[in-house]
Chain A
Amino acid sequence: MRLGLVIDLDVCVGCHACAIACKQWNASGMTGALTDYEPYGAEPSGVWFNRIRSYEVGEYPVSKTINFPMSCMHCEDAACVTVCPTGASYKRAEDGIVLVDQDKCMGCNFCSWACPYGARELDRATGTMKKCTLCADRIYDQNLAVEDRQPACVLTCPAHARMFGDFDDPESAVSRTVRERSGYQLMPELGYNPTNHYLPPRKAKPIPIENLGKPGFKEKLKTFVNKVVKR
């Protein structure tokens, strides 16, 4: 098995719900707590497994805002695991999840230097490195209903921009979606072969804003109301 995520950049609305759900689940999960520093102070900071950034692609007016959630890519050739001197970082043979053994980590930061995706963050309170576990303590939980055995971020996403599945199976939903929608990996030139894939935005018809022709009755009414009502 090679478990990972597919993130659909076409529909992600950038609401940060995945990051919040992640924090909620993992704060009490196998690598919890995810310490916050000065959460109510002037300079709030802390450990997160999932971060969402927003980019402008293209130049105005031909541009688009892309919300970009990033967590551990669970790379096939995970350099963070090879550089770890203690053996705390490991990649599970059975499902490809990259994890940090909190009892072995000595907090040297070397794995975070080797990670191009910024997936690893040091918890200053415990002195150990923390990262996305792909909710390894949830996806196999027999006490949960089958449809709930998914990472917290995937379950919570209101836009259904996240998918979870097995990339080794060519007929799994994630494999098929990546194939059909030309899913891609980030920074492929570094050769880490990340498992997580991103789906590019689909082409959409541009919404016309100029030369719209004669205004209809609705438009005329709107213009009239706007003229009459002072705001």
Chain B
Amino acid sequence: MHPAFSVIFFTVSSGAGLGLFALLVLADLFKLGGGLSSQALLMPGILAIFLVGGGFLSSVFHLANPKNSWRAVMRFRTSWLSREGVFGLLFFPFASIYLGLAWLAPESWLPVRYVFGIVALLLSWAAIFSTGMIYACLKTIRQWNTPLTPANYLALGHFSGVLLLLAFLPQENQGLFVFLAIALLAVAAFLKAIYYFWIVAPHISSTINTATGFNRAKVKLLDQGHTHGTFLTQEFGFQVARKYRLILKAIFFLIAFVYPLMILIGNPTQGGMVIATISALLGLVVERWLFFAEARHVVNLYHGAQRC
């Protein structure tokens, strides 16, 4: 699959924003680490909304015909893309009102704030899950059609969210969140490692034989029928060499997991956390690029690939 930068930016940015907001609400509800003050909620909360909003804007500009983008909410019942749009759009009012109440409302309004917080929390989980399901629901791409895909999106979203949260906290308030970050890091790294081992393992998949119906003989492409590329070769024909994929995976694990882990276990300063967060987010960009670059669409079988 062709890795489009706008979609990479969108999924990384909105995943981190939604994960950050979910953790903020959880910390507020369960008083994690002694609870966050309303001032401590405000700045990360605003950043989260900006990350999600920026991501959504970038995804709209990725469309070939953005003037119809408002129609994307019309097929909530069948389309995961539509669901992501609906959950994402609903997230903004609930998240904003929750932050507003945390900032301005008196103590007696606490239950109202919690109600808005819980709704925003559920919406952010639903939105990240829907992002994952957009890819996981496609039977045409074996590398995506797995429960690991939404699991990875949820884990990486919360992992990058907790790093962003830590980057906002002064060192004396970090306590529990450092442990939370290490736990989320472990979960995210393990899930992603399982995914990488899983996609290179041999699979039963569509082949050029099932694609053409000639099941009892070797089938070889003689002529693609076009002289230059088509929409299909541009969108689905993208490939990276195995060597580069391995190098990129190593870079991703190093800057997204190993370096932040070293910072986290070494009594992190706020500045250290900012650098670790940026490093992890860059790592996630690499991860998302690979997620697209490694996916092989079955239409490639018609262009000569023997299996997908």
B222 contact set on A, CB distance < 8 A: 54-56, 65
Whether A114 touches B71, Cβ cut-off 8 Å, given contacts A85-B85, A127-B63, A190-B298, is no
Q: Beta-carbon contacts of A36-80 to B below 8 Å, as 1s and 0s?
A: 000000011111100111111111000101101010000000010
Min CB distance B140 to A, Å, is 5
- The one of A19, A85, A108, A118 in contact with B302, judged by C-beta atoms closer than 8 angstroms, is A118
- The one of B72, B213, B220, B235 in contact with A56, judged by C-beta atoms closer than 8 angstroms, is B220
By beta carbon, the residue of chain A nearest B230 is: A45
Which stretch (A99-107, A164-172, A208-216) binds chain B?
Answer: A99-107
Q: Are A186 and B72 in contact (CB under 8 A)?
A: no
Min CB distance B150 to A, Å, is 15
Whether A190 touches B74, Cβ cut-off 8 Å, given contacts A54-B222, A85-B82, is no
Q: Are B64 and A110 in contact (CB under 8 A)?
A: no
Q: Are B225 and A108 in contact (CB under 8 A)?
A: no
Q: Are A86 and B212 in contact (CB under 8 A)?
A: no
Min CB distance A33 to B, Å, is 15
Cα distance A198–B215 when bound, in Å? 14
Residues facing B in A1-52 (CB within 8 A) are 14, 16, 19, 43-48, 51-52
Min CB distance B261 to A, Å, is 35
Q: Are B231 and A85 in contact (CB under 8 A)?
A: no
Interface residues on B, range: 35 or more
Q: Is A158 an interface residue (CB 8 A)?
A: no
Q: Are A51 and B231 in contact (CB under 8 A)?
A: no
Q: Are A55 and B235 in contact (CB under 8 A)?
A: no
User: How many residues of chain A have a CB within 8 Å of chain B?
Assistant: 63
Cα distance A110–B214 when bound, in Å? 29
Q: Beta-carbon contacts of A78-121 to B below 8 Å, as 1s and 0s?
A: 01011111111000000000000001111111101111111001
Q: Are A113 and B140 in contact (CB under 8 A)?
A: yes
Q: Is B58 an interface residue (CB 8 A)?
A: no
- The one of A19, A47, A55 in contact with B212, judged by C-beta atoms closer than 8 angstroms, is A55
Cα distance A126–B303 when bound, in Å? 26
Q: Beta-carbon contacts of B286-308 to A below 8 Å, as 1s and 0s?
A: 00000000000111001100000
B63 contact set on A, CB distance < 8 A: 106-108, 127
Min CB distance B35 to A, Å, is 39
Instruction: Tally A-B pairs: CB < 8 A.
Output: 178
Q: Is A144 an interface residue (CB 8 A)?
A: no
Q: Are B210 and A188 in contact (CB under 8 A)?
A: yes
A48 contact set on B, CB distance < 8 A: 230
Q: Are A121 and B298 in contact (CB under 8 A)?
A: no
Q: Are A187 and B85 in contact (CB under 8 A)?
A: no
- The one of A44, A85, A107, A117 in contact with B75, judged by C-beta atoms closer than 8 angstroms, is A85
Whether A128 touches B64, Cβ cut-off 8 Å, given contacts A65-B222, A82-B78, A85-B74, is yes
Whether A106 touches B225, Cβ cut-off 8 Å, given contacts A85-B75, A87-B74, is no
Which stretch (B115-123, B131-139, B239-247, B276-284) binds chain A?
Answer: B131-139
Min CB distance A204 to B, Å, is 15
B66 contact set on A, CB distance < 8 A: 106
By beta carbon, the residue of chain A nearest B222 is: A54
Q: Are A106 and B72 in contact (CB under 8 A)?
A: yes
Whether A70 touches B302, Cβ cut-off 8 Å, given contacts A45-B230, A56-B220, A122-B231, is yes
Q: Is A124 an interface residue (CB 8 A)?
A: yes
A46 contact set on B, CB distance < 8 A: 230
Cα distance A3–B66 when bound, in Å? 33
By beta carbon, the residue of chain A nearest B234 is: A45
Min CB distance A58 to B, Å, is 4
By beta carbon, the residue of chain A nearest B67 is: A106
A51 contact set on B, CB distance < 8 A: 225-226, 230
Q: Are A106 and B71 in contact (CB under 8 A)?
A: yes
A52 contact set on B, CB distance < 8 A: 225
Q: Are A104 and B71 in contact (CB under 8 A)?
A: yes
Q: Is B68 an interface residue (CB 8 A)?
A: yes
Whether A108 touches B81, Cβ cut-off 8 Å, given contacts A43-B228, A55-B221, is yes
Between A and B, 12 residue pairs with Cβ closer than 8 Å are: A19-B225, A55-B220, A81-B78, A84-B75, A87-B75, A106-B64, A108-B64, A112-B231, A114-B139, A116-B139, A117-B302, A121-B232
For the complex with contacts A107-B65, A117-B302, A118-B299, 5 further pairs of A-B residues with Cβ separation under 8 Å are A53-B303, A54-B222, A85-B79, A85-B81, A114-B139
